[in-house]
Amino acid sequence: MTEYYSKHFNLEQVSEGIYAAIAKDGSGSVGNSGFIDLGNKTIVFDTFNTQQAAVDLRNIAEKMTNRPVTWVINSHFHGDHIRGNQVFKDCNIVSSQISLQQMKENHPERIAEQKADIDGLKKYIESLSEQRESFTDLQKKNEINFLKELAISLPDLELVLPQFTFTNEFTIFGTKRTAKIMTLGGGHSPCDSFLYIPEDGIVFMADLLFVGMHPSFFPYSNPTQWENILNEVSNLPIQKAIPGHGTIGTKGDIERLKNYINEMTVIAKENSNLEEVSIPEEYKDWTTINIDPRELVIRNLKVLRDL
């Protein structure tokens, strides 16, 4: 494999011509990405949280496939999957129609607010950095590094939206393989798309799948639909599944997440004091991004209780 290095991700070959870019903690990536050589086209799945991470992704994708990136897929509207779009503004960017609408509704104001408070962010980073001598918590150090990458990205950050949309499915045909971008509705977000490569049995699932990590639930999440989507994806012939967060997985990891959603939903509905709930033994070693696992689990349970 061509030699490369990025501070933002580890590159893993999933199959011949198919690569997963697995986010490094405390970097400018946050979520996973990947790229696929279709034979006569190179496509990228999700573009990370910052331009600097996206630049590394584009450079290595074009170096390894020996051609420019042709298509970029945005799985859903969350920033860690689309804020690197500006690095690919000369490419064809595609998302579901609902995801495009969510980007338009959520990102302009959020980005404007963050740009207006860069000094405040830098002061906050300084305050955290001053505590560096008094803590050895790796998670805290990763948070500082993540915020530094965010501060680097903000001055030049611009929102670049998809030029192409679809409702249910969008297919890109190549000479080696086919890329099928599909959505079965909303689970994690109001509309979650995944990329299926039928010739290789590979699926890029974005935040429909977390491997060895606690997923995030939001007031707009739909746990029942999420489980239904995971069931449908499991019916596909799959060898490997690339999650939005965590390491490369298999069908077994899809089943584990489905069980997690079901179990956490039951716990949320059956317990009156969620602050006292313990993380189930099976998930105690699952990690999180820049947040204490117990804090995220309690937050998730409260969201699930109110859904």
Report DSSP letters for 22-87, one per residue: EEPTTSS--S-EEEEE-SS-EEEE---SSHHHHHHHHHHHHHHHTS-EEEEE--SS-HHHHTTGGG
95 with 232, same domain: the answer is yes
Judged by DSSP in three states, 8 sits in coil
Residues 231, 270, single domain; the answer is yes
Are β-strands 18-23 and 42-45 bridged in parallel, bridged antiparallel, or unpaired?
Answer: unpaired
pLDDT of residue 92: 98
Mean pLDDT of 92-108: 98
Predicted pLDDT at 134: 52
Cα distance between residue 219 and residue 167, in whole Å: 23
Q: pLDDT at position 261, please?
A: 97
pLDDT for residue 160: 98
Q: pLDDT digit string (tens) for 129-147?
A: 877 555 557 778 899 999 9
More confident residue, 83 or 289: 83
**What are the two backbone dihedrals, phi and then psi, of residue 33, each rounded to the nearest 5 degrees?**
-140, -165
Average pLDDT over every residue of 285-306? 92
Distance between CA 202 and CA 195 in Å, rounded?
A: 8
Percent of the chain with pLDDT over 70: 97
**Buried (b) or exposed (e) across 215-241, using 16+ Cβ within 10 A?**
bbbeeebbbeebbebbeebeeeebebb
Please give the pLDDT value at position 228: 97
- How many CB atoms lie under 10 A from the CB of residue 129? 13
Cα separation, 279 vs 292, in Å, equals 12
Angle (nearest 5°) at CA 248 between 45 and 224: 80
Answer yes or no: is 270 within a domain: yes
| DSSP character string of 79-130 | HHHHTTGGGGTTSEEEEEHHHHHHHHHHHHHHHHHHHHTHHHHHHHHHHHHH
**Residue 22 belongs to some domain of the structure:** yes
Asked if residue 79 and residue 15 are part of one domain, the reply reads yes
Whether pLDDT at 168 is above 90: yes
Please say whether the beta carbons of 250 and 256 come within 8 A.
no
pLDDT of residue 140: 82
| 298, pLDDT greater than 80 | yes
- Kindly state whether residues 71 and 181 are assigned to the same domain: yes
Q: Is 51 part of any domain?
A: yes
Give domain status of residue 52, yes or no: yes
Shared domain check, 206 and 302: yes
Report residue 299 as tokens.
Answer: 């937050």
pLDDT at 268: 95
pLDDT band per the 50, 70, 90 thresholds, residue 2? low
Q: Let me know if residue 1 belongs to a domain.
A: no
| Residues 179, 259 share a domain | yes
| 142 and 166 co-located in one domain | no
Residue 107 lies in a domain: no
C-alpha gyration radius of the chain? 19
For range 214-218, the mean pLDDT: 96
Residues 36 and 123 reside in one and the same domain: no
Q: Find where tokens 């580890």 sit.
A: 10
pLDDT for residue 233: 97
pLDDT at 136: 57
Mean pLDDT is lowest, of 22-26, 44-48, 289-293, for 289-293
Domain that holds residue 141: 113-156
Together in a domain, 118 and 227:
no
Do 126 and 252 fall within a single domain? no
* Number of folded domains that form the chain: 2
Domain assignment present for 142 = yes
Q: Are residues 178 and 287 in the same domain?
A: yes
User: Could you report the per-residue pLDDT of 176-203, keeping only the tens digit for each?
Assistant: 999 999 999 999 999 999 999 999 999 9
Residue 233 maps to which CATH number? Answer: 3.60.15.10
Instruction: Count other Cβ atoms within 10 Å, centred on residue 5.
Output: 8
Spatial separation of the C-alpha atoms in residues 44 and 231, rounded to whole Å: 25
| Cα distance between residue 35 and residue 31, in whole Å | 14
Q: Do 266 and 189 sit in the same domain of this protein?
A: yes
How much is the average pLDDT of 217-243?
97
Does the pLDDT value for residue 153 go beyond 70? yes
Query: Average pLDDT of 62-69?
Result: 97
* pTM for this entry: 0.95
Residue with tokens 């740009």: 115
> How many Cα atoms within 13 Å fall on the side-chain side of residue 132?
11
